[in-house]
Amino acid sequence: MADPFYITTAIHYPNGKPHIGHAYETIAADVMARFQRARGRDVRFQTGTDEHGLKMAQKARDMGITPRALADEMSGYFKELFDHLDISYDRFIRTTEDEHHRASQAIWKAMEASGDLYADRYEGWYSVRDEAYYDESELTDGEGEEKLSPQGTPVEWTVEESWFFRLSKYQEPLLALYRDNPDFTRPESRRNEVMRFVEGGLRDLSVSRTSFDWGVKVPDAEDHVMYVWVDALTNYLTGLGYPDQTPDFDKFWPADIHLIGKDIVRFHAVYWPAFLMSAGIALPKQVFGHGFLLNRGQKESKSLGNVTDPMELADRFGVDPLRYFLLREIAFGQDGSYSPEAIVTRANAELANSFGNLAQRVLSMIFKNCDGKLRADLEVLDEDTALEANVRASIDGLVSSFERLAFSDGLESWMHAVFACNQYVDDQAPWGLKKTDPERMATVLMTLFRCVRDLAIAVRPVVPTSADTLLDQMGIPADARDYAAFENANWFAQLAGSGFVLDKPEGVFPRLELPETETETD
């Protein structure tokens, strides 16, 4: 039976249309999901929208519509974007769903049954934008008497009746979790931040609000709605059928990876495991906090006028080149920067000029010089087997890197193999062998055909549509494109013996162009 693998993104807050950061996180999770499927695992991939909270209520009020109407409209934009970006999610969850309210109330009752919830009065600093409470010691001074959160967002003094969660009770269990499971929070810099925060002491957490009503009702206290993070985090359970003991819950929980932005690591690596410990539910295996995506080195903001619509970016440069760029350019876990010039430069250098050109040259020469026919009866020399071994070793490097979410390293390894193939073409010069040694020419082209197939399968999780288009042209069956295909030593002989004939190939990775008006200062 296939080994299960459950990956989630953070559910995205739809008080506005999706931005490039939402696309970045979800593409990365999709590549990991596709990669694990290619490895033969039974994958469940969940994303969605987090639709409750004060920010949503305020935005809807400002627009003169209901919070539900705002949630319906904005959630639709996220789903449309993810479908456009070829995101292979199994579940798109919305926290306004009835079953999610049921799950959130169930985990609340489980925490209450553990004696970890009590009613009191909350007085303290609250950031509406972060939906987070902060201690005085965490604040910095803004303009005038304004106070700012660690994220630089305004905070306001809040006083209201509230239910509290006994977070302080879980300080030592959490520290033991981090010590015993050093990979629970990754990368290491995030783990260190979380440990320092918990070591500094945990105060009980206000987990309900009475100043607005847009949220999940607290059981037996319906004038309270749950603090949005209790509700939001529970989505990872809702999607598996919690509180029912469903086959999906039994198979996929605990989650293998919660893939999130670094700004919400505290909620996932401190509050969430504490809630789960209280409710008697197994903890996720890993929380990975990736970095921010910067526009020419700057955070995007409406005031700077540099907010990018990821749908427009994908339409302009292509979905697969955008996916490739985001994972290749940036060391996953660190902050990274993008620009139209950088996308064009990277995509042209590696996808169009290197891999795309390699595939096009090889298939064109087989079409022209071998009548499109494959041959498995040729004498193979040491340099041929050396190239194929080099390609396979580079793919092994991609696999080991992707397992660690080191996407850029994995694609670097893949590019080494692409470069090796191009060097082999130059060294062997099959165009010259056509006259002097046509059998040797055929051997060189068949060797390259096998390498291109391997490279296309390896990179398929990143550029699925382009890889499939290439593999279609190469006659590779749709059910022979996962990594198990590497184990079939007879695939080439089987394909050659099937009577497959290559049609005139078409390029898969066209060169990208920047409009002439685009400059570095735009």
Q: Please give the C-alpha separations between residue 230 and each of 50, 226, 254, in angstroms, as whole numbers.
A: 11, 7, 18
Q: Kindly report the CATH number that applies to the domain delimited by 4-291.
A: 3.40.50.620
The per-residue pLDDT for 520 is 44
For residue 519, pLDDT beyond 50 = no
**Rounded Cα distance, 27 and 22, in Å:** 9
> Are the CB atoms for 247 and 110 separated by under 8 Å?
no
Contact assessment for residue 97 and residue 238, using Cβ atoms and an 8 Å cutoff: yes
Residue 521 has pLDDT above 70, yes or no: no
Q: In whole angstroms, what is the distance from residue 76 CA to residue 73 CA? A: 5
| 294/47: higher pLDDT | 47
For residue 129, what pLDDT is reported?
83
Q: What are the CA-CA distances from residue 2 to residues 38, 42, 43, 400, 460 (Å)?
A: 12, 5, 9, 19, 20
* Residue 295 tokens, joined: 């526009």
The residue with greater pLDDT, 448 or 229, is: 448
CB crowding 458-487: b at 16 or more within 10 Å, else e: bbbbbbbebbbbbbebbbbeeeebebebbe
Task: Give the pair of three-digit tokens for residue 200.
Answer: 């500094």
- The domain spans of the chain are 4-291, 339-497
* CA max distance for the chain: 89
CA–CA dist 358, 352 (Å, integer): 9
Report pLDDT digits (tens) over 300-344.
665 566 678 999 999 999 999 999 999 999 999 999 999 999 999
**Mean pLDDT for all residues in the chain:** 94
Contact indicator for 287, 295 with CB cutoff of 8 Å:
no
What pTM was estimated for this model as a whole?
Answer: 0.93
Q: For residues 199 and 195, give the distance between their C-alpha atoms in angstroms, rounded to a whole number.
A: 6
Count of CB atoms within 10 A of residue 519's CB?
9
Whole-number pLDDT of residue 334: 96
275 within 8 A of 207, measured Cβ to Cβ: no
CATH number of the domain at 339-497, out of 1.10.730.10, 1.10.10.10, 1.20.58.340, 3.40.50.720? 1.10.730.10
In the chain the first and final C-alpha atoms are separated, in Å, by 54
pLDDT for 445 equals: 98
User: Which one, of 338, 335, 181, lies nearest residue 262 by Cα?
Assistant: 335
Residue 216 to residue 222: CA distance in whole angstroms:
9
pLDDT at 493 over 80: yes
Q: Could you report the per-residue pLDDT of 164-218, keeping only the tens digit for each?
A: 999 999 999 999 999 999 999 999 999 999 999 999 999 999 999 998 899 999 9
Q: Are strands 132-134 and 208-209 parallel, antiparallel or unpaired?
A: unpaired
Q: Is the pLDDT of residue 522 over 50?
A: no
Q: Read off the amino acid at residue 104.
A: S
- What percent of the chain is modeled with pLDDT above 70? 97
| Predicted confidence (pLDDT) per residue in 16-32, tens digit | 899 999 999 999 999 99
Residue 42 CB contacts under 8 Å (≥ 6 apart), including other chains = 1, 2, 3, 4, 5, 251
> For residue 130, is pLDDT > 90?
no
Label residue 2 by pLDDT band (50, 70, 90): confident
Per the CB < 8 A criterion, the answer to whether 185 and 178 are in contact is yes
pLDDT tens for each residue of 402-448: 999 999 999 999 999 999 999 999 999 999 999 999 999 999 999 99
Whether pLDDT at 364 is above 80: yes
Q: What is the pLDDT of residue 303?
A: 56
pLDDT in the model for residue 305: 65
- Whether the bond into 254 is cis, omega within 30 of 0: yes
Using alpha carbons, select from 73, 87, 15 the residue that is nearest to residue 45: 87
CA distance 322 to 465: 12
- pLDDT category at 247 given cuts 50, 70, 90 is very high
Q: What is the pLDDT of residues 279-302, one digit of tens each?
A: 999 999 999 999 999 888 777 665
